[in-house]
Amino acid sequence: MRISTNTQFWAQLDLIEEKNARIATLQYQAATGNKLKLYSDDAALGSRIQSLSDNMTEYQGFESNTSVLSAQLSLVQNSANKLLSSALKIMDDINSAKNDTKNNQDRLALATELQGVLSSLLNESNLRDVNGGYLYSGTLQNTSPFQLKQGSYQYQGTSTTIQVSISQDTQQAATFSGWNVFGNIGTGNGQFQIQFDPTHNTGNAYASGITTTSSQPVSDTYTLNFVTNAQGQLAYTVTGAQSGQVVPPASQPVPQNAPAFTSDQAIQFNGLSFQLSGVPKVGDQFTVSPSQKDNVFNQLSNLVNLLKTPVNTDQDKANLQQNLNNALDYFKQFHDQSNGLVSQTGITINYLNSIAERNKQMVGADNLILVNEATVKPENVIPMVTQELQSLEILTRSFSKIQEILGQIIRF
């Protein structure tokens, strides 16, 4: 086959050009550590690199939110533990105040102590995040959640909370509704409360905590009246504002058929049950009504005022016991609610930590894939550069030799 001088020349040049291009690529890889310069060098790999990089950016984008949230929740958890301690302290003081041996002076001391707890709780309700925003005001972070207005503490925040993204499809509350932390607790047992009527009552009876005996007690305001029945016994009737005569049943005449009262014996009607201790008198009244939602500050204020009020008569004593029982029921709920907050924040912090850990792992995993697929190790590339350079040198020499031979031929 005839091979022209030009063909030989071009073949050499093509090879040298090819080597130079290869060396340039390897040098770029050695210098940058990147396998590709342009995505089009390997469009499929380029697309994968983009996708991995975007994933990493996506995961890293949540790092700040999860760490800030975690820090805020730690603040709230710490605060919730303080609320829990306060609730226990309040219940201890209530139990202490219930002790018959305590006199007015003792109760005054307890009142002073509880006044301090009230201040402490109010202080806790004003918990703020690192940016100075209130954490217990829902979405209204620049508003102090509980303010004294017209003689009572009122919630100024919202029930909705500020949500922050912690992953692509998940949001987490960054603030809390103060109402759900310090309020939203029904007086009494949360469903019903029983009240002593200090203006009518002359006896010294008072009720212990009210319980429900049915999952759906009949919601009504009931009045329990002490009467004398046909047998001349101290008896009671119960009448509901909506239900009408409940005890004895409506078909039976009152007071003749009213059931006899026995101290510390359960009085049950319409799914409710409670006991009266002490000795009531005919004409004494107790009211059983659905609970009213209130916050701890009003309830604690009432408790402080109650303890400050001197107890001189049996009726005062009964009234005190009745209200202390009601307060105990209320603050038991506050205790449970605070306990729930401690638990909830703990779970959420763990969840956030797991999300952060998962995000970190995903970034790590993506990064590993990215390193494997998109980068080259200089120690792998440099020998290849050396090899290619040697190859280029041989090519160049060969090219020179061929040119030399051509020259010799011409000289010949």
Partner 1 sequence: MRMSGILEIGVRSLLAYQYALDITGQNIANDQTQYYSRRVVEFQDDGMNSGVSIGDVRRIFDSVADDQLKNSITDLSKSTQYADQLSSLEIEFGGDLSSKTDIGKYLNDALDSIRNLNGNASSMQNRATFLNALMNLSSKFNSLSSSLQKQGSDTNRSLLDQIQKTNQDISQLADLNQKLLHASDSEKNDLLDKQEKIKEDLAQYINFKTSTDQNGLLNLTLDNGASLLFGTKANSIALQNSQTQTNQMSIILTDGTFNLDVTSQISSGSISGLLEYSQKDIPNATQLLNRLSVVISSALNEQNKLGLDLNGKLGSNIFSDINSPSLMAQRFSSGLNNTGSANLSVQISDATQLSGSNYQLVVDAPGHYNLVRGSDQKIVSSGNLGALPQTISADGVSIQLSSGTLNVGDQYTISPTAGAAQGMKLNIQDASQLALALPVLADSSTQNQGKGVISVDGISNIQGSIFQGNQQLTPPLKIHFTSDTQYEILNATDSSVIASGLTYDPSQPNSIFPTPQGFDPGIRISLSGAIHAGDEFNISYNTNPSNDNRNGQFLEKLFGTPLIDQKNNTFLGEFRSILSGISSKTGDTKANMEADKIVFSNARDRRSNVSGVIVAEETMNLAKYQQAYQASAQLLQTAKNIFETIISLARS
Binding residues for partner 1, per CB under 8 A? 1-7, 9-11, 14, 32, 34, 36-43, 46-47, 49-51, 54, 57, 61-62, 64-65, 68-69, 131, 133, 139-143, 155, 158-160, 162-165, 168, 171, 174-175, 179, 183-184, 186, 290-293, 374, 406, 409-410, 412
Query: Which CB atom, from 131 or from 199, has the smaller least distance to partner 1?
Result: 131
Instruction: Tell the residue number behind the tokens 């703990």, with chain if given.
Output: 346
Q: Which residues fall within 8 angstroms of residue 86, CB to CB, at 6 or more apart?
A: 117, 120, 121, 124, 338
Residue 350 Cβ, how far from partner 1 at the closest point, in Å?
20
Cβ closest to partner 1, residue 51 vs residue 361: 51
Residue among 1 and 232 whose Cβ is closer to partner 1:
1
Q: Residue 355 CB, nearest distance to partner 1 (Å)?
A: 14
Q: Would you say 153 or 226 has its CB closer to partner 1?
A: 153
Helix pair 5-32, 378-411: axis angle to 10 deg: 160
Q: Residue 274 Cβ, how far from partner 1 at the closest point, in Å?
A: 20
Pick the closer one to partner 1 by CB: 46 or 259: 46
**Sign of dihedral through CA atoms 346, 351, 355, 357?**
positive
Kindly state the smallest distance separating residue 271's Cβ from partner 1, in Å.
15
Nearer to partner 1, 18 or 357 (CB): 18
User: What is the strand order of the sheet 234-240 is part of?
Assistant: 192-196, 285-290, 222-228, 234-240, 244-247
Q: Enumerate the β-bridge partners of residue 167.
A: 170
How crowded is residue 274: how many other Cβ atoms within 10 Å of its Cβ? Answer: 21
Place of tokens 């533990």: 81
For 193, the 3-state DSSP assignment is strand
CB of 37 to partner 1, least distance (A): 6
Tell me the residue ranges of DSSP E strands in 150-190. 152-155, 163-167, 170-173, 185-186
Query: At its nearest, how many Å lie between partner 1 and the CB of residue 56?
Result: 10
Closest approach of partner 1 to the CB of residue 386, in Å: 24
- Name the residue nearer to partner 1 (CB basis): 164 or 254: 164
In sequence order, the 6+-apart residues with CB closer than 8 A to the CB of 168 are 58
Query: Between 311 and 370, whose beta carbon lies closer to partner 1?
Result: 370
Q: How far is the CB of 153 from partner 1 (least distance, A)?
A: 11
CB 355 within 8 A of CB 62: yes
Give the list of residues 6+ apart from residue 329 with CB closer than 8 angstroms, or none. Answer: 188, 189, 190, 193, 209, 210
Torsion-angle region of 244 (φ positive above 0: left; ψ -120 to 50: alpha; else: beta): left
